[in-house]
Amino acid sequence: MLLENGLNPAPFFQGVVLPTEDNWQVQTVLKKHYCFSTGLMRQVKNNGLLLVNKKQVPFTIFVKAWDRIEIFLFHKTKVEPENLPLDIRYEDNEVLVINKPAGQVVHPRHQYVTGTLANGIAGYLKRHKEQPSSYLINRLDKGTSGLLLAAKNPLAAVILSQEISQINREYLALVSGDLNANEGIIKLPIYTSQASIKRVIASEGKASTTRYVVLKRYTNCTLLRLSLESGRTHQIRVHLSAIGHPILGDFLYGELVDGLQRPLLHASFISFSHPKTGVRCRVEAPLPDDFQNYLKARP
């Protein structure tokens, strides 16, 4: 089998039927044992192959203990692969963790059709003879630097998405002013207006919680470590602005600062359970140069 791009496809999933699953339908085995969703099986029906003991079969077939299952998925990537630099912090057959630079858009949209992180990942996978598609699990704003988790195949994406609440992320931010407390919790509902990209605090918004710890105090600004108990768009930026300490350089929720081209917000840490092994993975990314240089110049 060859894809249109010339790649020799490898199965994105391989598994065996256990004795306790003898005489089950293969779709039941995949759902109960391997976390396949109905949507993912539909994708395979439309654009892939299901093999049991090397023979193509339907999802309704009944299988026997120790039957071997292989699944292929063929589809054109919606993102144009590009040869872009990637700062890869972790990689295996299932996932990628990439340290995104500030200023790079994550997904193609509107005027950003090339040069995005998704373009770069697709190009990287294609060069390594893998399917040039990735499934980004978390998002970062254009101006935010730091770690992004991407699945390499749709099953890993389904598993990680189901466990999104168990993915721990930490951020570093330099904020305006001097916070009174050394640590705290911000619980304020965030509302999305249809008229603006700017989020606001409003009673009709979605419940949102941000935790912070003061790492270092500078003259007129403070370095914070933050973690999220919810994942709203712009959550950290909105919450810090709401308590009177916007992120330095955040023109949307604060004000412009001389010498800063973006908000000083960096996703420095991520941990997640590996979608195949269940082992807890921990990945860190140091502060980028612009953030470090700004801190060095603070009294």
Active site residues: 141
Q: How far apart are CA 148 and CA 126, in angstroms?
A: 19
| Residue 205 exposed, middle or buried by CB count within 10 Å (0-12, 13-18, 19+) | middle
Q: Which of 104, 103, 170 is nearest to 136 (CA)?
A: 104
SS3 category, 3: coil
Q: How far apart are CA 273 and CA 128, in angstroms?
A: 25
35: left (phi over 0), alpha (psi -120 to 50) or beta: left
Residue that has been written with the tokens 């990287």 in this structure: 124
Q: Which of 62, 67, 142 is nearest to 108 (CA)?
A: 142
Give me the numbers of helices (H) and strands (E) for the chain, helices first please.
Answer: 6, 16
Residue that has been written with the tokens 């912070």 in this structure: 212
CB atoms within 10 A of CB 187: 12
CA geometry: angle at 154 spanning 105 and 78, to 5°? 45
What are the DSSP calls for 256-273, one per residue? Answer: --TT-SS--EEEEEEEEE
Per the document, the length of the chain is: 299
Structure tokens at 174: 């330099």
**If you ran DSSP here, which 8-state letter would residue 62 be given?**
B
Residue that has been written with the tokens 């973006």 in this structure: 262
Q: How far apart are CA 233 and CA 255, in angstroms?
A: 19
